[in-house]
Homo-oligomer: A and B are copies of this chain.
């Protein structure tokens, strides 16, 4: 789609949006996946401008905010069945003023929006992102690639806040259930923790701490097919995992 067509499309959307949505509030989902020992995040690029964006959207006049973000993620990225949790609100007055610079103030999308950030952890192999009609592309981008790409508005800050929230959560909640496959090895779990924390962990300490939490069960089977000794497979002990989620890892 060329520049003129993409601008026409946004103008048409603006007219529709004024009927459907309340102004000034948007929601941005930050969906994390874990793949090849790396964290990645779901991003989209609109036909208009070639910058990456979170697949966000607006809140319907007759829609709860929690319903809105689920609908937005489905319509903008084709993603369903992830648990979205609010982690921050982004309310700087000029946060998006440059993005729609080609339009005048009557464009719905150009007004001031305060955006509510939601994050989700997903087993990314179950998710095939689908771009909507205003997007050229919607796909996973590895966090390590983020420094090199052009992210619009304050979406870099939103992703960083989501990651910080995840990093804080990992200190008092178990993490992994939604990010890892059903069966995984201990080194895979460690790689996940290292990816979230952004640092390497001592193998022995990590092993001991995780064991003490009691959230894992060792399976009878080993993984086959590698060149090395078959590694042990684990899965989460659902009951203990749920209890640790509920009570925190270190209760008073």
Contacts and interface: CB of A to CB of B under 8 A. Distances in A.
Contact of A116 (B89, B92, B250, B251): B89
B171 A114 contact: no
Given A249-B250, A250-B250, A59 B23 contact: no
Contact of A89 (B86, B171, B197): B86
A36 to B, nearest CB: 21
Most buried by B among A89, A168, A197: A89
A197 to B, nearest CB: 6
Interface in A195-252: 197, 201, 206, 209, 248-252
Interface residues of A, number: 36
A91 B64 contact: yes
A157 interface: no
B114 A65 contact: yes
Interface string A15-32: 000000011110000000
Interface in A144-190: 168, 170-172
A62 interface: yes
B93 A66 contact: no
A108 interface: no
Contacts of A206: 252
Contacts of A74: none
Contacts of A22: 23-24, 112
A48 interface: no
A59 B116 contact: no
Contacts of A249: 171, 250
A252 B112 contact: no
B65 A248 contact: no
29 contacts: A22-B23, A22-B112, A24-B25, A25-B25, A25-B91, A25-B114, A59-B91, A63-B93, A65-B90, A65-B91, A65-B114, A66-B91, A86-B88, A86-B89, A89-B89, A91-B116, A114-B116, A168-B172, A168-B248, A170-B252, A171-B248, A171-B249, A171-B252, A172-B248, A172-B250, A193-B252, A197-B252, A209-B252, A249-B250
